[in-house]
């Protein structure tokens, strides 16, 4: 049975304004919202017209459900400040939307008799009406105890989402998985567009969209089995050419290319899809472009050392020093006899 709440929102950022608008559309009353920046005021005007704007303490005093949508590092201080000001009260539900934090951060609210709930939408937000449709089917990472679990679940369902229970001690790991998958994906895609732009692509985004859509769908369905490309095929020559051209034309992306190529290499070796000797060769190529490795050997900067003319070499002269191997490369080398092929 639907139970409408009087909801107050502290933090009218991209998440808070959208969730408040969704709760309002579901039948809850948004009694007040706190937001001081021009951007927050703009979101309130667009998504929560006619909702009073008030100080955080006034918002907290006026509601049955207090939604705290503030940055992770500010959350503890906000809860403590509201509790010390006497703005929180018994029977009130204090709900935060942090992925990292669980219930512990809400202890000051619990101390005055409020009910703590962690409700995190596993979604990226623009802070506009576009986000409202995206909430349908969105997973909400919930943490609550006892009877509060039913309230947390009901709020997630009212927002159009799917509840997923996250243990208190696993909140940070849960959030790390989401951040690694989504936040770092934005960096990866942006850098890929920069490389394509350097190659002369007129529409880097349009070039990548169908490829990335297919790759993402395949990865979500198949995991490592979806891997394709030069690393998993063992095409060391192609990898070497990539590294040289990226270094010359889009050097700002070289570090992440090397790091992700190394991670891909390790996974391809671990599942037996890559012949270990080829993996070792590719690992050595990556070492030559990895600043952390290259600085350990003279003449091994990010750009590979130029070949020395044979005529200038004494009969027994030493060749330019190779960089010391990255630990991942050494691991491949050391495990050659035991690796599956």
Sequence-distant (≥ 6) Cβ neighbours of residue 69 within 8 angstroms: 9, 10, 11, 12, 13, 15, 16, 19, 96, 97
Which residue, 150, 166, 182, sits at the end of a domain? 166
Closest C-alpha among 198, 213, 201 to residue 245? 198
Q: How far apart are CA 119 and CA 42, in angstroms?
A: 25
For 152-167, what is the mean pLDDT? Answer: 98
Sheet of strand 93-96: strand arrangement: 29-34, 6-10, 65-68, 93-96, 115-121, 139-143, 162-165
Beta strands in 81-236 (DSSP E): 93-96, 115-121, 139-143, 162-165
Domain residue limits at 254: 174-305+321-335
Closest C-alpha among 50, 54, 43 to residue 10? 54
Statement to judge: residues 96 and 119 lie in one domain: yes
- Per residue in 170-229, pLDDT tens? 999 999 999 999 999 999 999 999 999 999 999 999 999 999 999 999 999 999 999 999
For 172, the 3-state DSSP assignment is helix
**Is 106's pLDDT higher than 90?**
yes
Spell out a b/e string for 47-85, using b for 16 or more CB atoms within 10 Å of the CB, else e: bbeebebbebbbbbbbbbbbbbbbeeeebbebbeebbee
Q: How far apart are CA 143 and CA 151, in angstroms?
A: 11
Statement to judge: residues 22 and 70 lie in one domain: yes
**Is 275's pLDDT higher than 80?**
yes
Q: What is the DSSP secondary structure assignment for residue 179, as one 8-state letter?
A: I
- Residues of the chain above pLDDT 90, percent: 83
Answer for the pair 8, 32: CB distance below 8 angstroms, yes or no: yes
Q: To 10 degrees, what angle do helices 236-249 and 276-289 make? A: 10
**Is 316's pLDDT higher than 90?**
no
Token output for 279: 């993996």
CA dihedral angle for residue 192, residue 194, residue 199, residue 200, rounded to 10 degrees: 120
For residue 282, tell me if it sits in a domain: yes
Statement to judge: residues 224 and 75 lie in one domain: no
Q: pTM of this prediction?
A: 0.82
For residue 340, tell me if it sits in a domain: no
For residue 1, tell me if it sits in a domain: no
Q: How far apart are CA 265 and CA 167, in angstroms?
A: 33
Statement to judge: residues 27 and 133 lie in one domain: yes
For 53, the 3-state DSSP assignment is strand
Statement to judge: residues 119 and 219 lie in one domain: no
Statement to judge: residues 155 and 206 lie in one domain: no
- Per residue in 38-75, pLDDT tens? 999 999 999 999 999 999 999 999 999 999 999 999 99
Statement to judge: residues 296 and 254 lie in one domain: yes
For 23, the 3-state DSSP assignment is helix
Answer for the pair 14, 132: CB distance below 8 angstroms, yes or no: no
- Per residue in 131-159, pLDDT tens? 999 999 999 999 999 999 999 999 999 99
Answer for the pair 31, 6: CB distance below 8 angstroms, yes or no: yes
Q: How far apart are CA 27 and CA 246, in angstroms?
A: 53
**Is 327's pLDDT higher than 90?**
no
Total domains present in the chain: 2
């Amino acid at each position: 049975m639907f139970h409408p709440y009087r909801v107050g929102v502290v933090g009218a950022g991209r998440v808070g304004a959208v969730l408040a608008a969704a709760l309002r559309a579901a039948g809850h009353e948004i009694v007040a919202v706190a937001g001081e920046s021009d951007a927050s005021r703009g979101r309130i005007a667009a998504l929560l017209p006619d909702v009073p704007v008030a100080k955080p303490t006034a918002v907290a005093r006026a509601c049955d459900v207090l939604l705290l949508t503030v940055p992770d590092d500010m959350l503890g201080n906000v809860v403590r400040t509201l509790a010390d000001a006497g703005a929180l009260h018994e029977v009130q539900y204090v709900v935060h939307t942090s992925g990292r934090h669980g219930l512990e951060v809400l202890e000051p609210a619990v101390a005055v008799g409020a009910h703590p709930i962690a409700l995190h939408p596993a979604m990226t937000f623009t802070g506009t009406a576009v986000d409202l449709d995206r909430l349908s089917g969105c997973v909400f990472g919930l943490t609550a105890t006892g009877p509060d679990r039913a309230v947390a679940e009901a709020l997630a369902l009212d927002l159009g989402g799917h509840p997923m229970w996250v243990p208190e001690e696993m909140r940070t790991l849960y959030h790390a998985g989401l951040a690694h998958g989504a936040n770092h994906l934005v960096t990866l895609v942006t850098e890929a567009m920069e490389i394509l732009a350097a190659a002369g692509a007129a529409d880097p985004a349009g070039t990548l969209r169908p490829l990335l859509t297919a790759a993402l769908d395949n990865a979500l369905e198949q995991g490592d089995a979806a891997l394709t490309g030069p690393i998993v095929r063992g095409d060391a020559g192609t990898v070497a050419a990539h590294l040289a051209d990226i270094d010359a034309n889009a050097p700002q992306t070289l570090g992440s290319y090397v790091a992700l190529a190394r991670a891909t290499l390790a996974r391809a070796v671990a599942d037996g899809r890559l012949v270990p000797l080829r993996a070792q060769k590719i690992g050595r190529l990556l070492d030559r472009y990895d600043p952390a490795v290259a600085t350990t050997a003279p003449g091994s900067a990010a750009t590979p050392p130029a070949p020395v003319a044979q005529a200038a070499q004494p009969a027994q002269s030493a060749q330019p020093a190779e960089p010391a191997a990255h630990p991942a490369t050494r691991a491949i080398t050391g495990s050659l006899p035991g690796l599956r092929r």
